[in-house]
Amino acid sequence: MSDKEYRDILYVEKDHVATITLNRPERYNAIREGMYEEIIDAIMHASWDKNIGAIVLTGAGDKAFCTGGDQGDKGKGRYGTGTIGVPVEILHNAMRDAPKPVIAKVRGYAIGGGNVIATICDLTIASETAVFGQVGPKVGSVDPGFGTAYLARIVGEKKAREIWYLCRRYSAAEALEMGLVNTVVPDDQLDAEVDKWCAEICEKSPTAIAIAKSSFNASTDNIRGISRVGFEAVNLYYETEESKEGGKAFREKRTPDFRSKQIG
């Protein structure tokens, strides 16, 4: 077993599986400044360790898998790496570039950026308590790459547009029906189910799986370019009063008034 020390995540290796736990349960495992870099570092570490056969992403506690970027942290500004000041697209690419399956183990809320992470994972295994959905247009944000275009590949254009335009929440059973998750189990069986899937994967040829993953990715890698251009647009959008109104209203716990501040 090998452990790495981080501020906001836990990293543990066991039985050829690297488990990365987002460890901010008091904030529904929302991602704050510096946390993206920690997740990326952990994924990269596990990705190229030949002793690791699968990577599991999960959230601490029973309330949430991940609820995306921390809106309270966003108010401080974004000045780090990545097109929008946080390396969202770098994280997404690291997950896809890992030459082994990345598995989302979802309890509670997988909302916003958390839903995008679960979508990008090779496999998603959910507890019956899991809740999925997007919130971007409610808070002045959007994921213009894998969170939209790749989501449409998985659930279909009509459903993907519904998810983004209406920002509704979907139960684990509904997510299973639309193909967003692979299986749903009772909460007390989730850990054992993920362990079972990982054990089966780790029995297989790692090279064959790496080739298979690259082959699957090849048909959707054009989304990487869409993402790059899209995040450039989002970076400009974040400087507008329309976008800022979303975050401000969220922090003030009121309904945003986007219409009076819209661009153009």
Please give the Cα distance from 89 to 229 (Å, whole number): 11
Contacts of 245 (CB under 8 A, 6+ apart): 140, 256, 257, 258, 261
Would you say 240 and 154 are in contact if contact means Cβ atoms under 8 Å apart? no
Confidence of residue 250 (pLDDT cuts 50, 70, 90): confident
Is the domain covering 3-188 a CATH 3.40.50.1980 domain? no
Cut 0.85: pTM above it:
yes
pLDDT at position 81: 83
pLDDT, one tens digit per residue, over 112-143 is 999 999 999 999 999 999 999 999 999 999 99
Would you say 75 and 247 are in contact if contact means Cβ atoms under 8 Å apart? yes
Confidence of residue 247 (pLDDT cuts 50, 70, 90): confident
Please give the Cα distance from 25 to 104 (Å, whole number): 17
Show me where the domains of the chain are located: 3-188
- Could you tell me what percentage of the chain is helix, strand and coil, using 3-state DSSP and rounding each to the nearest 5? 50, 20, 35
Tell which residue, 94, 93, 121, has the closest CA to residue 105.
121
Neighbours of 157 (CB within 10 A): 11
Would you say 107 and 101 are in contact if contact means Cβ atoms under 8 Å apart? no
Please give the Cα distance from 258 to 242 (Å, whole number): 6
